[in-house]
Amino acid sequence: MGANMILAIDVGNTNITCGVYDGETLSATFRITTKFPRTSDEYGITLAEMMRMKGISTEQIEGTIVASVVPDVMHSLTGAIVRYMGSTPLIVGPGVKTGIRVVTENPRAIGADRIVDAVAAYEKYGGPALVLDFGTATTYDLVGRDGSFEARITAPGIRISAEAMWERTAMLSKIEIKKPKSILAQETLSSMQAGLFYGQIGQTEYIIRRVREESGYADMKVIATGGLGRIISDETDSIDIYDSALTLDGLRIIYEKNRKQEH
């Protein structure tokens, strides 16, 4: 592995997803849960140790880029990167060159992760494209033919919907989110799985169809990412591509655009 590697960090509401790039090659990935508060030293030691387990030392990291939707962790995480990686991270936000022009109202209100996904989708697959991210929320973001960020739809994620059922219904226990044997469920657990799984597919297919109709983009590519994206993608012809590394790739692309701008 090379000495000029990039650490890309996506801070989500559930997990902090990290990727180490050697050029354009994603050499290693790992995750840290977002739920627990940590000090700079705890973040730094965790990052360094996880990289070490993958055969990567902190000295090989040339630079770091972070996209975050959780402001509370940024002070400690930024401190950890400065102290343990030896560089100030590039944080995706206003003033950072992305190559994506946001034409919706209040561009600053759009989460950094959604901009990063849009950048990756456009750079890797071209436009027009609809980017689906099955995370804590399920998001649908429309990128136009010229790379403009044109529209966004936000729905509760599958886990949020499941947790709402568990919390509000005393008799229902927690279940694994997966495809049941049949939609014609005959007992409680599989009935919940059927509702969550097929309900998500129905929502997904309908929103894709409406976006295609209202945007007029008949040739729109549909790209999915996110933790539960694969099981949904496998069950519908409405999604063209499932790309598990979309967000991390977007971070690498933005890092490269800004590095070129500096030199």
Walk along the chain (263 residues) and give the pLDDT tens digit of each residue. 666 899 999 999 889 999 999 999 999 999 999 888 899 999 999 999 999 999 999 999 999 999 999 999 999 999 999 999 999 999 998 889 998 888 877 777 788 899 999 999 999 999 899 999 998 889 999 999 999 999 999 998 888 888 777 776 655 556 667 788 889 988 877 888 898 889 999 999 999 999 999 999 999 999 999 878 899 999 999 999 999 999 999 999 999 999 866 54
What is the rounded distance in angstroms from the CA atom of residue 97 to the CA atom of residue 258? 6
In this structure, what DSSP letter does residue 23 have? T
Q: Domain 5-91 falls in which CATH fold?
A: Nucleotidyltransferase; domain 5 (3.30.420)
What is the rounded distance in angstroms from the CA atom of residue 17 to the CA atom of residue 141? 20
SS3 content of the chain, % helix, strand, coil (to 5): 40, 25, 35
Give the per-residue pLDDT at 125: 97
CATH architecture of 104-246: 2-Layer Sandwich (3.30)
Decide if 240 is catalytic: no
Query: CA nearest 258: which of 61, 27, 99, 78?
Result: 99
Give the per-residue pLDDT at 54: 94
Interior/surface letters 12-27, b for 16+ CB within 10 angstroms, e for the rest: beebbbbbbbbeeebb
What is the rounded distance in angstroms from the CA atom of residue 20 to the CA atom of residue 30? 9
pTM across the whole model: 0.89
Same fold, 5-91 and 104-246: yes
Give the per-residue pLDDT at 1: 60
Give the per-residue pLDDT at 117: 95
Q: Which of 10, 113, 133, 243 is catalytic?
A: 113
Give the per-residue pLDDT at 175: 65
Query: CA nearest 34: which of 7, 18, 11, 51?
Result: 11
Instruction: Check if the beta carbon of residue 97 is closer than 8 Å to that of residue 71.
Output: no
Residue spans per domain, the chain: 5-91, 104-246
